[in-house]
Amino acid sequence: MRRFQFWRLIGEQVTFYAGVEYTASNPERFPLSDYEQRDPARFMPLDARKLRGFAAGYYASGADGVYLFNFFVPRARQLFPDHETRFELLKELRDPDRLRGKPKTYTLTAGGNHWKYQGVDGPDQVPCVAEAALPRVFSMLLASEPESRPIDVTVFVEGEPGNQLKDLRLHINEFSAGHALEIHSVADEFLADSPQDGNTSRNTKPVKKILFRARSKMLLDGRNRITFQSDSVSLTLLTIEVRVN
């Protein structure tokens, strides 16, 4: 919801703060509890890039501030002994001007049937199927960046995209980011073990990540339109990450 729509409902005297849960997850892949043993990079308090991306995107969309839910200390839960909560980032997150031009990651997260907070920041956009030769459009909250900042976009998919990089294309708003540069297999953080307990939320299909290169002038403050197209095969999209380097 845009801020002017929010104000129209409740009045302009109410301050709008955007909140975030503690993990940027895709629970359709495997249960949320599995993340606590697998992948510290998806826990917001441990990842400076994701914290900056969350805050910058919502400030650019008109939020007056941000708040962090479950900003936990991992050692208190016997998790990730080699990672510490990024408390030093908190002073950056209160000032959108301090975020612009710094490394950050914007993540298109998934709700899904097994996510306990369904409908948060909806509607859910992933997982979804991008049919062969048909564009699939997504909306992401991003912030504009200085022209000197290089941008990478990674699309995570289930399925085999093949090795024809020219068949995989991306647009950001009205700009073309061209065809894919690289395709890689994804490490274990997106993969579930073979289910032994009949848990239908687990998924054992292989995942690939498709890398595109973009330019900072493509990014707008607020909602941005990300269009992905696979010309040769249908693919299930799991998430998209936009990285400002």
List CB contacts of 16: < 8 A, sequence separation 6 or more. 3, 6, 7, 62, 63, 64
What is the tally of structural domains in the chain? 1
The percent of residues in the chain predicted with pLDDT above 90, rounded, is 42
Distance between start and end Cα atoms, the chain: 28
Residue span of the structural domain in which 22 resides: 3-244
The stretch 100-129 carries a mean pLDDT of: 72
Q: What is the CATH number of the domain that holds 192?
A: 2.60.120.1200
Query: For residue range 8-52, what is the model confidence (pLDDT) as tens digits?
Result: 777 777 888 888 877 765 544 444 444 455 556 667 788 889 899
Best-predicted range by mean pLDDT among 29-38, 94-103, 202-211?
A: 94-103
What is the pLDDT, as a whole number, of residue 117?
Answer: 52
Q: Give the max Cα distance, the chain.
A: 54
What is the pLDDT, as a whole number, of residue 206?
Answer: 76
The residue ranges of DSSP E strands in 61-206, in sequence order, are: 65-68, 104-107, 128-130, 136-142, 150-158, 168-172, 175-179, 182-185
